[in-house]
Structure 1
């Protein structure tokens, strides 16, 4: 019994001696490292204790950094998506603005042609009105009727008068008189043609105003979307350097910045 107690006491003394030696080694090492860190000063960087604490906290800091990178990447991708959508819309609006301008230019040419045709018809009426001041020759009433039929049919065939105008002349309505002198019949026909051309000019003018308004609206929309595209691309380019190159693939949008 005494021998067992002696062995236990001897073992405890050895264990305590080992623990004391280990503790002394740790204290000595800590003291030496602290002394060396103080001697090296701030130029040597963080102390070994600061580096140890950072190593302990690094996993959590790394996770926070990764989350921040992911958030930034998502924001950049959203900006890129918006920039691409606006660029596509601007491209389509540009095409539409071009079409609207072409339509307006075509309507403008039609209006100008209608005005020239009206002016020519007006001059023809004036010439006949001036010539009417001279005495008219006598002719056969039957010949006048035949002349009226030939004249209005010829005008209808070339599109100078409508079917309704032709019917009025043949049915002797709206002032048409087969007994009138051929010169007076010609003057009446030229006035009808002039009035019809003037109505065509008015219709062409209305169409020109409508197409001009549509072209202006399309051009305004194009300018607005071009400005929005520029702003979106600028936002992407400003935000892109903050995101790591490995986390997002930046694609240049169209149209490119000048």
Structure 2
């Protein structure tokens, strides 16, 4: 018996020290919980918020992508606006060209009516000699050249005048030659007015398309800038939204049994 006690008693102080150490650890833990009870509390909402919130690297990458996209769209919108302004200027020039061609055609039409009335009257009698025919031909060529330099006749019409074809007769009386010349000028200006009208319509359609494209790009640039600002501002309120949802749930539990108040 004494042998057993002599073998056990030396280990008692060591065991007591171990138990005292364990009791000290437990006491410190209990004290920490009592002082700060929320330190070790499990918070599912916090875990959800941390899991839902993007990391700083992902957030920075997304912000760079959004910023680059917004800048690209803004540059495209600015270029489209410049193009729309240029297209509109082209349309204004084409419209002015149509107006000028119409006024020139109206003036030529009035000259044709005036010369038609003059040609209906008896023409002055002139001797039909070779010299007279040479003078008439010279007058026709000079009048046609003057009209060509005024851009009232086309080069094809001028070629017909000098070739004496397509109704150009140098033997006619100068009054009759002037009437033929004015009719040719009227027809040429009418064709020029029609061509200017087609160019004006094409310029109008191009301007409309350019304006629509610029408007769409400006709208997209504004939306992209707004999205970038909204996304950068919505990172922090995400936790607030979750907390608001949790608070709403608590309020619903408290207010259960009462009529819900409509939100305005």
Instruction: Give the TM-score category using the shorter length.
Output: 0.7 to 0.9
Q: Figure out how many residues of one structure are paired with residues of the other and give that number.
A: 226
1:74–1:174 CA distance, 2 compared to 1 (3 A): same
Using the size of structure 1 for normalisation, the TM-score is: 0.76
Shift of 1:144: 4.1
Is this contact kept in 2: 1:83–1:229, CA < 8 A? yes
Is this contact kept in 2: 1:169–1:176, CA < 8 A? yes
Once the two structures are overlaid, the 10-residue window that deviates more, 187-196 or 79-88, is 79-88
Shift of 1:13: 1.7
The separation in 2 between residues aligned to 1:153 and 1:91, in whole angstroms, is 54
Structure-2 residue corresponding to 1:114: 101
Is this contact kept in 1: 2:136–2:171, CA < 8 A? no
Is this contact kept in 2: 1:97–1:218, CA < 8 A? yes
Is this contact kept in 2: 1:73–1:243, CA < 8 A? no
The separation in 1 between residues aligned to 2:108 and 2:54, in whole angstroms, is 80
Which whole-Å deviations, capped at 9, do the CAs of 1:177-222 have from their partners, x for residues lacking one?
Answer: 2222111111001101111111111111111011110000000101
Once the two structures are overlaid, the 10-residue window that deviates more, 210-219 or 130-139, is 130-139
Structure-2 residue corresponding to 1:198: 190
Match of 1:233 among 225, 237, 262: 225
Structure-1 residue corresponding to 2:179: 187
Shift of 1:124: 0.6
Match of 2:90 among 95, 100, 103: 103
Which whole-Å deviations, capped at 9, do the CAs of 1:202-253 have from their partners, x for residues lacking one?
Answer: 1111110111100000001011111111111111111112347xxxxxxxxx
The separation in 1 between residues aligned to 2:228 and 2:41, in whole angstroms, is 38
Q: Alpha carbon RMSD of aligned pairs, Å?
A: 3.0
